[in-house]
Structure 1
Amino acid sequence: MLDLRQTDGYAEYMRLLGWEAGKIKGMYYFCKRLPILGSIIKIQRFDKLVPIPDLEILAKHKKAFVVFLEPLNNKLFDYYSGKGKFKLAKTTNLPSKTIRFDLSKKDEKILKDMHYKTRYNIGLAVRRAVKVRTSKNIHLFSEFWHRSARKRGLYFSMRNEIYSIYKAFGGNAIILFAYLKKELIAAVLLIKADKSLHYMYAASTKEGNRNFAPTLLVWEAIKLAKRIKLKKFDFEGIYDERYPLKTWKGFTRFKESFGGKIIVYPGTLRKYYFPF
């Protein structure tokens, strides 16, 4: 199954963010030129061997000062950290750990694997008349997400990323809104890529949290993925002790309460070059 970061939609998303997208041995790479230093190259979640000499040629051609590799499996990680002399980076460009659901399981089994409070809260949201609707209103989603972020003390803008990923994936970008009566109380932006549905951006008000709207939205997203015959649902990141971000612990507990399988990626490798 093709990883999100190796899809045509993701390549278009990166182009919209100002990166050059190209292919090497069938795998997407992304390159951004920086003044004076040269360029950054990154190859993300690839599962096919890109020979080291080909990487060296690409780095020289693009005048790269650093190349980041985020292989999908440990075999590739060991190859590049060994023969390729790539070093383990101290930070990661992508979530290095996630939770994934097998959608071939029946609804009853998925629910059974959840924490009992999570199952109860799904039912409670329904009994409190929280309604979930699909939407194409990316403007409303973006404003709602940023308003929610500001109330949590987060003032950086993600508008470019939100609008760009929605535009890049087109009909494969799905917005779910949760309403209590006529009030918008929670929202999620999902991305369909290959045979998976990815949980990309989510937000909620205090009223939404009190009525467990985010919990209901996850369950509705999983059911939606099953209806459109997808194979996996991916939470797109949880807390990883190797790259500790304390702010991730809260939503990690939320995501872990749904069950699923924890996936650990090998990590990020980097190698510096002298482009001039």
Structure 2
Amino acid sequence: MTPLPDLVTRFSKFPDLHQSPEYERLMHQIGWLSVGKPGSLIYYRSLGPLTVAKLQRPRQIDPEFIHHFRRRYHPLTTYIESSLAQAYSHGFVAEPFAHSTTSLLDLTLTPAQLLSSFSQKTRYNITHSLKQNLLQITSTPLNKLTSSQLSDFFSLHAEWSTRRHVVGYPPSLLHAVFPSFSTHGTLHLAYLDHIPVGTLLILTSGQVATYYAAFATPLGYHHFAPTLLTWTALLSAQDSAHSIFDFGGIFDPRYPRMYKKWAGFTKFKAGFRPAVVSYPATRLLLFWK
């Protein structure tokens, strides 16, 4: 298998999803503005008389530009979320916007090598589901989704949110994702007797495929739909020439209060034995002087 340092080094050289043109479109759709160079955009939004701003995983951090931005736009708060390549050390340590710890899989491995690297339980869930052949999985590029597939996705999200008593993703954000990433994403859906029981939304940027949103019903969990959906997404990402799979966030002990509800899917993702990577701490700059 690829040594961990090589995988992390490759990952750190790719533009982050939060700095992609598709993510910029998404942010504009939900009311944020952007300023700066491609790859190092600051997003900002006015909430009444107050302005908040965030610089997420930029290719480069330019302190002079940050200073100029704050003097011009007068944000009450500016959050700096560094990339792996360059850390920012000014300001106060704060809770993050973007996930602060993630985990990676090397998609340059063969499917057999990938499968053998998983935990015994995860391998069993995949092979058992495939052998039973009860779940029907569809994998559709976002620009080719039908209204029925979109309806299934949002129904699964609504059922999951109600059952878990969490909002998870604001509906406005999810509705904006599909047109913004129309050519840079795939929606995987799992059906049992034509009933939707699970879904996994994958977004892509460069050679990285990111696990963005996933929901399942109790029946879907019973039949290991989340595991089979993830395995399907890994193979699909390989077929599309992506070289890294980013699990998109796991529990971070640096922020236990913020991530206290992440234990379940962190354990689920750990079954794929990914390489865990932590970003530098989020920094908060107050006011504009």
**Considering the TM-score relative to the shorter chain, is it more than 0.5?**
yes
Q: Is the 8 A contact 1:113 1:258 kept in 2?
A: yes
Secondary structure in 1 aligned to 2:229? Answer: helix
Aligned equivalents of 1:121, 1:22: Cα separation in 2 = 46
The C-alpha deviation readout for 1:245-272, integer Å capped at 9, x for no partner, is: 2210011000000012111111210111
Secondary structure in 1 aligned to 2:182? Answer: helix
Aligned equivalents of 1:111, 1:270: Cα separation in 2 = 41
Secondary structure in 1 aligned to 2:76? Answer: strand
Tell whether 2:67 aligns with 1:59: no
How far did residue 36 of structure 1 move? 2.4
Using the TM superposition, name which of 139-148 and 257-266 deviates more: 139-148
Unpaired runs of 5+ in structure 2? 1-13
* 1:226–1:200 CA distance, 2 compared to 1 (3 A): same
Unpaired runs of 5+ in structure 1? none
Aligned equivalents of 2:222, 2:66: Cα separation in 1 = 51
Q: With structure 2 as the length reference, what TM-score do the two structures score?
A: 0.87
Aligned to 1:69: 80
Aligned to 2:265: 251
Using the TM superposition, name which of 20-29 and 208-217 deviates more: 20-29
The one-letter code sitting in structure 1 at the alignment partner of 2:190 is A
Tell whether 2:166 aligns with 1:161: no
The one-letter code sitting in structure 2 at the alignment partner of 1:128 is Q
Aligned to 2:10: none
The one-letter code sitting in structure 1 at the alignment partner of 2:103 is I
Q: Is the 8 A contact 2:156 2:197 kept in 1?
A: no
Correspondence 1:142-161 to 2 at 5 A = 142-155=154-167, 158-161=170-173
How far did residue 148 of structure 1 move? 1.8
Aligned equivalents of 1:150, 1:25: Cα separation in 2 = 38
Secondary structure in 2 aligned to 1:214? Answer: helix
Aligned to 1:8: 21
Aligned equivalents of 2:127, 2:39: Cα separation in 1 = 46
The one-letter code sitting in structure 1 at the alignment partner of 2:271 is S
Q: Which of residues 9, 20, 32 is equivalent to 1:19?
A: 32
Aligned equivalents of 2:23, 2:226: Cα separation in 1 = 25
Correspondence 1:1-276 to 2 at 5 A = 1-24=14-37, 27-37=40-50, 39-50=51-62, 52-73=63-84, 76-77=86-87, 80-81=88-89, 85-89=90-94, 91-129=95-133, 130-135=135-140, 136=145, 137-155=149-167, 158-244=170-256, 245-274=259-288
The C-alpha deviation readout for 1:223-255, integer Å capped at 9, x for no partner, is: 000001011111100000001122100110000
The one-letter code sitting in structure 2 at the alignment partner of 1:54 is F
Q: Is the 8 A contact 1:124 1:211 kept in 2?
A: no
Q: Is the 8 A contact 2:208 2:243 kept in 1?
A: yes
How far did residue 27 of structure 1 move? 1.1
* 1:72–1:155 CA distance, 2 compared to 1 (3 A): closer
The C-alpha deviation readout for 1:7-45, integer Å capped at 9, x for no partner, is: 0000011101100022248511101012223x1121101
* 1:117–1:98 CA distance, 2 compared to 1 (3 A): same
Q: Is the 8 A contact 2:200 2:214 kept in 1?
A: yes
The one-letter code sitting in structure 1 at the alignment partner of 2:22 is G
Q: Is the 8 A contact 2:30 2:176 kept in 1?
A: yes
The Cα RMSD (Å) is 1.7
* 1:156–1:191 CA distance, 2 compared to 1 (3 A): closer
Count residues in correspondence: 266
Aligned equivalents of 2:228, 2:38: Cα separation in 1 = 42
Aligned equivalents of 2:69, 2:126: Cα separation in 1 = 50
Aligned equivalents of 1:266, 1:166: Cα separation in 2 = 30
Aligned equivalents of 1:187, 1:230: Cα separation in 2 = 20
